[in-house]
Amino acid sequence: DIQMTQSPSSLSASLGDSVTITCRTSHFISTYLNWYQQRPGEAPKLLIYAASTLQSGASSRFSGNGSGTEFVLTIRDLRPEDFATYYCQDSYGALHFGPGTKLQIK
């Protein structure tokens, strides 16, 4: 079974900063990787699919990169609504989610 890890598990940043979240998988998954944002009390929301394609309606301040076993989500120019938990997800196979990265305001 594929194992997914995310780093860091939490981070603090200020408004206007840029941050990077990394997702690593135990098996090669090409670009079969999605990213989601979950605000407290809400359902997750799709941000990026196929590792780097921005979902319709998602802010262009979000970008994704990577392939194989290492993937990166970058958020530029942090705004108050970006402080949330972010999950990566394997989009082919067992459809596992990563453990999440909680982004908090500094």
Query: Between residue 35 and residue 94, which ones bind another protein under the rule CB under 8 A?
Result: 36, 38, 43-46, 49-50, 55, 87, 89, 91-92, 94
Instruction: State the nearest-atom distance from the C-beta of 95 to another protein, in Å.
Output: 4
Least Å from the CB of residue 19 to another protein: 19
C-alpha span between 31 and 22 (Å, rounded) = 14
Residue 28 contacts another protein per CB under 8 A = no
CB of 56 to another protein, least distance (A): 9
| Residue 76 to residue 84: CA distance in whole angstroms | 14
Question: From CA 73, how far away is CA 52, in angstroms rounded?
Answer: 9
Beta strands across the sheet bearing 19-25: 4-7, 19-25, 70-75, 62-67
For the bound state, the minimum distance from the C-beta of residue 73 to another protein, rounded and expressed in Å, comes to 15
Among 15, 99, 104, 105, binds another protein (CB under 8 A): 99
Q: Say if strands 85-90 and 70-75 run parallel, antiparallel, or are unpaired.
A: unpaired
Amino acid letter, 94: A
Local structure of residue 82 (DSSP, 8 states): G
Contact positions toward another protein, by CB under 8 A? 30-32, 34, 36, 38, 43-46, 49-50, 55, 87, 89, 91-92, 94-100
